[in-house]
Amino acid sequence: MTDLISIETSRLLLRPYAKDDVDDVLAYCADEAFSQYLPAVPFPYSRENAVTFLASTALLDPRVHASWAIEFEGHAIGGISLRIEPDMQRASLGYGIGQHWWGRGITTEAAQAVVAYGFDTLDLERIFATADARNIGSQRVMQHLGMKHEGTLRSHRIARGERVDEVWYGLLRSERNASTHTA
């Protein structure tokens, strides 16, 4: 297995998660607002959930699932990942940060760096992302990346016991260079 590289931006360090991130992960995941649109994140979120999450990320093969902690001002404030399908030269982008840091362009900055990594280092042809249709903030990040809305899958996911629509956005390598979207 290869090691996951760290990526630096003007304000952020995207790095592999570490065992000592447990308190930071617990802090942002325990906030109900963080998990409201993320079905994979249990609520309420416990310290045991954080320990299990960190142990599972340590086992990921970054050639197929690259998962970074988003570090800002010395703390892990969220995460971002690419689930990579090398044979198809595509990946799914996923992200989330704690509510305290919303509205500062942090997620967009992290996502721009990961998209650049996907196209420039991994030689991907397509990167896509999905979101709960009610999650306007996530859709704005996708739009800032230059992604195009590709469709809405009706009643496709379950969020806290409720069936909700899921939106799909995508970006092709050929579109990326034509895009000048910023946060």
Question: Does some domain include residue 2?
Answer: no
Confidence (pLDDT) at 77: 99
Question: Does some domain include residue 169?
Answer: yes
Q: Which residues contact 29 (CB under 8 A, 6 or more apart)?
A: 35, 41, 45, 49, 50, 53
Average pLDDT over residues 157-180: 89
Question: Does some domain include residue 30?
Answer: yes
Question: Does some domain include residue 183?
Answer: no
pTM for this model (two decimals): 0.94
Could you read off the pLDDT of 85-133 as tens digits, one per residue? 999 999 999 999 999 999 999 999 999 999 999 999 999 999 999 999 9
- Structural domain boundaries, residue 117: 7-176
Q: How confident is the model at residue 182 (pLDDT cuts 50, 70, 90)?
A: very low
The string of DSSP codes covering 62-100 is: TTTEEEEEEEETTEEEEEEEEEEEGGGTEEEEEEEE-GG
Query: How many domains would you assign to the chain?
Result: 1
Question: Does some domain include residue 127?
Answer: yes
What's the chain's average pLDDT?
A: 95
Could you read off the pLDDT of 17-76 as tens digits, one per residue? 999 999 999 999 999 999 999 989 999 999 999 999 999 999 999 999 999 999 999 999
pLDDT of residue 5 exceeding 90:
yes
Q: Which residues contact 32 (CB under 8 A, 6 or more apart)?
A: 43
**CB-count burial class (<10 Å; 0-12, 13-18, 19+) for 161:** exposed
Q: What is the CATH number of the domain that holds 55?
A: 3.40.630.30
Q: How confident is the model at residue 183 (pLDDT cuts 50, 70, 90)?
A: very low
Question: Does some domain include residue 123?
Answer: yes
Could you read off the pLDDT of 77-86 as tens digits, one per residue? 999 999 999 9
Q: How confident is the model at residue 13 (pLDDT cuts 50, 70, 90)?
A: very high
Query: b or e along 76-86 (b: 16 or more beta carbons within 10 Å of the residue's beta carbon)?
Result: bbbbbbbebee
Question: Does some domain include residue 182?
Answer: no
Question: Does some domain include residue 181?
Answer: no
Average pLDDT over residues 151-161: 93
